[in-house]
Amino acid sequence: MVDALHYSTLREMSEALHRRELSSLDLTEAHLERIERLEPRLGAFLEVTSTVARQQARQADEQLAEGSAGPLTGIPMQLKDNISTSGVATTCGSLMLEGYVPPFDATVTQRLRDAGAVLLGKGNMDEFAMGSSTENSAYKTTANPWSTDRVPGGSSGGPAAAVAAGEAAFSLGSDTGGSIRQPASLCGIVGLKPTYGLISRYGLVAYASSLDQIGPLTRTVEDTALVLNAIAGHDAKDSTSIKQAVPDYTQGLNKGIAGLRIGVVKEYFGDAVDSEVARTTKEAILRLEELGADVVWDISLPLSETALAVYYILAPCECSANLARYDGVKYGYSDMESQGMRAALEETRRQGFGAEVKRRILLGTYALSSGYYDAYYLKAQKVRTLIRREFAQAFQQVDLLVTPTSPTVAFGLGEKVDDPLAMHASDICTVPVNIAGIPAVSVPSGFADGLPVGLQLIGSPMSEPMLLRAAHAYEQATGWHAQHPAI
């Protein structure tokens, strides 16, 4: 199979499968061969499920032959390694879960199985989704396909790199503070963080439960809509799941954006944003204006400047509670040599968790401790409410907001790994969206210094149809999505 096959859209692959021009097994074998060839340089997969993939591909071919197949039937895909897969290891990139095989599927896993998608394997990630470069994985470092001496972003760096390099047709990641959109931007692909509650979190290993959200990483906006059709919708197993019918997200993609009011948030173009990224983003905004959008250039969200501080109180507090379950008794890594239960527990956590995870657990435990709860956690929650209100007020003036996705292009491997504050600043453009629980999409918008730049479009709750329509209009008018790394 030629490399061009690996950069086909989901619709192109699906139409070829339905016309019986190729089989799902052929398509799967082609992707497995590419994974074998590229993985030594990329490190995008923690586990390649070749046997499972071939079995599912044969089942998909049977469905295709019977005429009972859907748009994702037979399409090879990847899942981030914090999404539960029955019978397949789910480690969250941590030694603490080394060898852990869930006895159940996440809801999104089951829905993709039902849709006939083919699981190629599990994507590398920052440990427990804590990081912005995928350098915090306990097992390997993932490289950016555009320049293998640079990071792919994180924490969904493995999924972003796999899709950008043509190793998988699409992938699912999780986004707690930008972990889908930031790596999508750095790898030159599309990444959607949906409205909180639109996609079930059942089976997603929790980092910060009020912020986590599963979403797709794809090569085009239409691909994102197709995947969203398969995984969105209410789930009784998730108490935060929204009880609301979901539309067909592919409908209306071609309606254009004439008359759509798009606001430019001035706080997202400050000194922390690289000048070339800012220039590229402003050129993209002018292109939106040429396409008929009414651009409002002076939208102000001053509380967005507090979002990073709010995030790094709330997220560590929630992770401190969520990760307390890892004690070496029920599952996962366990230190069996220490004398006494408490000593064994302490040693298990000391060895099982990496430095960044321990740093955030300590931060969260401190902020939740007696005497500091009101000063930190409670105050952060109050500011979170104000940030939500600020976004709601902005959406009374405009339909969508536009910002850079990442303040920089992909930085060098090892460049920020010893500077946590600099690493955390990678999320300044993305964390306000998670705090507010609203949707946002990153779409390729050009290059700076030869590396991809992403444009972030932000919408009000449940505005995914409008959000995807605007992203699709920009994508089709520019063609940045059609450029691929020469790996």
User: In 10 A of CB 55, how many CB atoms?
Assistant: 15
Cα–Cα distances in angstroms (integers) from residue 383 to residues 388, 432, 457, 469, in the given order: 9, 11, 23, 31
User: Which of these is catalytic: 94, 133, 147, 155?
Assistant: 155
Q: Say how far residue 383 (Cα) sits from the centre of its chain.
A: 25
Closest CA to 359 of 87, 117, 130: 130
User: Which of these is catalytic: 24, 80, 200, 442?
Assistant: 80
C-alpha 222/C-alpha 232 separation (Å) is 15
Q: 332: which residues sit within 8 A by CB, 6+ positions away?
A: 96, 97, 98, 99, 100, 326, 352
C-alpha 309/C-alpha 306 separation (Å) is 6
C-alpha 96/C-alpha 127 separation (Å) is 10
Three-class secondary structure assignment of 217-253:
EECCHHHHHHHHHHHECCCCCCCCCCCCCCCCCCCCH
Q: 104: which residues sit within 8 A by CB, 6+ positions away?
A: 84, 86, 203
Q: 323: which residues sit within 8 A by CB, 6+ positions away?
A: 128, 353, 357, 361
Q: For residues 177 and 154, is the Cβ–Cβ distance under 8 A?
A: no
Is 155 among the catalytic positions? yes
Instruction: Give the pairing of strands 170-174 and 190-193.
Output: unpaired
Q: Say how far residue 283 (Cα) sits from the centre of its chain.
A: 25
User: In 10 A of CB 485, how many CB atoms?
Assistant: 17
Is 338 among the catalytic positions? no
Cα–Cα distances in angstroms (integers) from residue 478 to residues 4, 307, 323, 394, in the given order: 20, 31, 44, 27
Is 179 among the catalytic positions? yes
Which sign does the torsion angle of CA 90, 228, 222, 51 carry? positive
Place of tokens 């190729």: 22
User: Which of these is catalytic: 179, 426, 442, 463?
Assistant: 179
Q: Which residues are catalytic?
A: 80, 155, 179
